[in-house]
């Protein structure tokens, strides 16, 4: 039974722990020098209220992804696309080349592991633990191992199709091996449900009346051929790739000793 004395002792210990944590957090003063271009990017970040949805070093909203280390994981072409035409819930901002470069510089210069880490996420660092990351890794492994007995040149085109898919915000709407909540179809079934001409037209123009905008950046003939090969590969190996994706997504490891506990009060 917890006596009044023990309750007071427990409360005192909790207050002491809170005081120690507060001292550790607020005495860790960091000064991050930024270039003129990065300062311009910071002004854009503040002017567009990006922190409403996104976090930097634990500060900000939770609607969008944490952008503390975005420069290390987002391709520059995809970043420009996101800043111009948006993706999913992110609205189009219509950034100019200069503004996009400034934002990229800001994200690049704050992406410093020695300063701290972003939002706490479970999973193996550097590999991604979500379904989309597992989906991409499963395809990369299948291509590397020569899945389905395809010729080397065909697999090279599949890899090029995955690269073209990855640098565009396709994954904002399309989910691996299932229809998404916004109505975007399962891409592994697309090659079998559309004629070659219809698929070519969708890849070139999108389906605006059904909510799919034209691809950004636009797909040239080589890109369209590569993505067609990628979609056909998904359809031909759907069961194996779905199983591999599920296995990779379930294989999540977490080293509790490596977590920066004081950065997540």
CATH for 180: 1.10.760
Question: For position 251, what pLDDT does the model report?
Answer: 61
What pLDDT sits at residue 121? 46
Residue where one domain finishes, among candidates 73, 90, 120: 120
Tell me how far the alpha carbon of residue 38 is from its chain's centroid. Answer: 22
Tens digits of pLDDT across the chain (265 residues): 568 778 778 888 888 887 777 666 555 555 568 899 999 999 999 888 888 788 887 777 777 788 888 887 787 888 888 888 887 677 788 899 999 999 999 999 888 766 655 554 444 444 444 677 788 889 999 999 886 666 788 899 999 999 888 877 677 678 889 887 667 889 999 999 999 999 999 999 988 777 787 887 789 999 999 999 999 999 999 999 999 998 887 765 555 555 555 544 4
Q: Among the residues of 146-220, which ranges form H helices?
A: 152-166, 190-193, 196-205
Backbone phi, psi, residue 212, to 5°:
-100, 115
Q: What is the C-alpha separation between 129 and 240, in angstroms, rounded?
A: 19
Q: Is residue 86 one of the residues assigned to a domain?
A: yes
User: Cα–Cα distance between 104 and 83 in angstroms, integer?
Assistant: 10
Closest CA relative to residue 188, chosen from 238, 150, 249: 238
State whether 79 and 167 are in the same domain: no
**62 and 151 part of one domain:** no
Residue 81's domain is classified under what CATH number? Answer: 1.10.760.10
The reply to whether 48 and 138 lie within a common domain is no
Co-location of 95 and 205 in the same domain:
no
| Structural domains counted in the chain | 2
Residue 125 lies in a domain: no
* 15 sits in which H/E element: helix 4-26
**40 is in which domain, residue-wise?**
36-120
Q: Residue 182's pLDDT is what?
A: 65
209-225 burial: b if 16+ Cβ within 10 Å, else e: eeebeebbeebeeebbb
Q: Tokens for 70, please give them.
A: 């975005």
**Does residue 106 sit within a domain?**
yes
pTM score of the predicted model = 0.55
pLDDT of residue 265: 44
Straight-line distance from the first to the last Cα atom of the chain, in angstroms, rounded to the nearest whole number:
30
Of the candidates 87, 120, 153, which is a domain's last residue?
A: 120
């Amino acid at each position: 039974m917890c006596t009044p004395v023990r309750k007071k002792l427990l409360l005192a210990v909790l207050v002491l722990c809170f005081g120690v944590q507060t001292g550790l957090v607020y005495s860790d003063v960091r000064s991050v020098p930024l270039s003129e271009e990065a300062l311009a990017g910071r002004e854009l970040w503040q002017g567009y209220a990006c922190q409403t949805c996104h976090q930097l070093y634990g500060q900000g909203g939770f609607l969008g992804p944490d952008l503390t280390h975005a420069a290390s994981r987002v391709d520059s072409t995809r970043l420009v696309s996101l800043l111009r035409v948006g993706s999913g819930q992110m609205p189009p901002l219509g950034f100019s080349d200069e503004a996009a470069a400034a934002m990229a510089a800001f994200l690049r210069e704050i992406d410093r592991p020695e300063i701290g880490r972003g939002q706490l996420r479970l999973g193996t660092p550097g590999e991604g633990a979500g379904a989309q990351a597992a989906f991409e890794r499963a395809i990369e492994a299948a291509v590397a191992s020569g899945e389905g007995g395809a010729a080397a040149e065909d697999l090279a085109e599949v890899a090029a199709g995955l690269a073209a898919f990855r640098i565009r915000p396709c994954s904002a709407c399309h989910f691996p091996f299932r229809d998404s909540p916004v109505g975007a179809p399962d891409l592994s079934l697309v090659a079998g449900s559309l004629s070659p001409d219809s698929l070519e037209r969708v890849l070139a123009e999108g389906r605006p009346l059904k909510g799919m905008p034209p691809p950004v950046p636009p797909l040239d003939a080589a890109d369209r051929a590569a993505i067609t090969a990628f979609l056909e590969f998904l359809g031909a190996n759907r069961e194996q790739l779905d199983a591999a994706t599920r296995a990779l997504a379930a294989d999540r490891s977490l080293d509790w000793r490596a977590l920066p506990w004081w950065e997540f009060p």
